[in-house]
Amino acid sequence: MRELMGEAPTDEVLTDDAFLGGRLHLLQPQRGHRAGHDALLLAASAPEAGRAVDLGAGVGAAGLAYAARVPVATLTLVEIDPALADLAGRNAARQMPGLAERVRVVCADVARLGRPSGPDMPAAGAADLVLMNPPFNDLARHRASPHSGKALAHAIADADAEVWLRAAERLLAPGGRLALIHRPEAIEALLAGLKGRFGAVTIRPVHPSPEAPANRLLIGAIKGRRTPPALLPALVLAGGDGRPSAAAEHVLRAGGAIGPG
């Protein structure tokens, strides 16, 4: 990790961090919300698609990790914070040759994207895949961070996840796919928000270790389907000895996909 002074749009100190075993390098603010395993797990859980949109992209971690794995994908990174949107564009430009040509950045509010009269970009009904890493922490159970950027990225009520699902539904073409990561505590609100919009819902628990409860859910769904939900085998990130599991190494270091079953 390197610290860079004076290069952030907000004059914040930036760090230059390596992901996926050094295949992805991201500039991100030293303070506030920072990209980590959640973004990489989300990218690895998403099926291959031609036209992908990453909602709440931050500095671009999930979307760029996905684009690095899927060379046929074009990608739109959507971020409400202009400073982070600027960093997402800079991060796209500094990856492998040709990747930036497949990526565009849109500074937009997810809530507006879900309205029938929402912005023209990204275009409604044009995406094959939407990736979502919504803010996780329900304000009824968690104190918001005093850092405004971190609070924006981390804290909304569970019920407000429907706002993000509405945006995903509007952006996806019929039969388009949704991939999202969230906390297990939000499952009731998520299933309620998916109902009537998406079907063929798959739920994969993610456990930090074999004996620990799941602390994340990887959820997939298809717009317009009515197929019942399915619970997939769990992903365990570390063994009893604390060392990363083979599955975690495959995803977090090698940049591989999480299989469908």
pLDDT tens-digit map of 164-209 = 999 999 999 999 999 999 999 999 999 999 999 999 999 999 999 9
- Both structure tokens of 55: 């909602």
- Quick one: pLDDT band at residue 138, thresholds 50, 70, 90? very low
Looking at per-residue pLDDT, the higher value among 1 and 242 belongs to: 242
Examine the pLDDT at 85 and tell me if it is beyond 60. Answer: yes
Q: Which of 44-53, 134-143, 178-187 has the lowest mean pLDDT?
A: 134-143
Residue 120, both tokens = 């023209």
Q: Do strands 127-132 and 230-231 pair parallel, antiparallel, or not at all (unpaired)? A: unpaired
pLDDT at position 157, please? 64
Render the burial of 217-250: b for 16+ CB within 10 Å, e for the rest.
bbbbbbbeeeeeeeebeebbbeeeeeeebebbeb
pLDDT grade for 154, boundaries at 50, 70 and 90: very low
CA distance between the termini of the chain? 35
Q: 217: closest CA among 190, 238, 255?
A: 190
Q: Which helix (H) or strand (E) holds 197?
A: none
Q: How confident is the model at residue 151 (pLDDT cuts 50, 70, 90)?
A: very low
Structural domains in the chain, CATH included, are 36-253 (3.40.50.150)
Average pLDDT over residues 118-128: 94
Question: 63 vs 98, which has greater pLDDT?
Answer: 63
Tell me the pTM: 0.88
The answer to whether 198 and 225 have CB atoms below 8 angstroms apart is: yes
User: Residue 205's beta-bridge partner residues?
Assistant: 217
Q: Is the pLDDT of residue 16 over 90?
A: yes
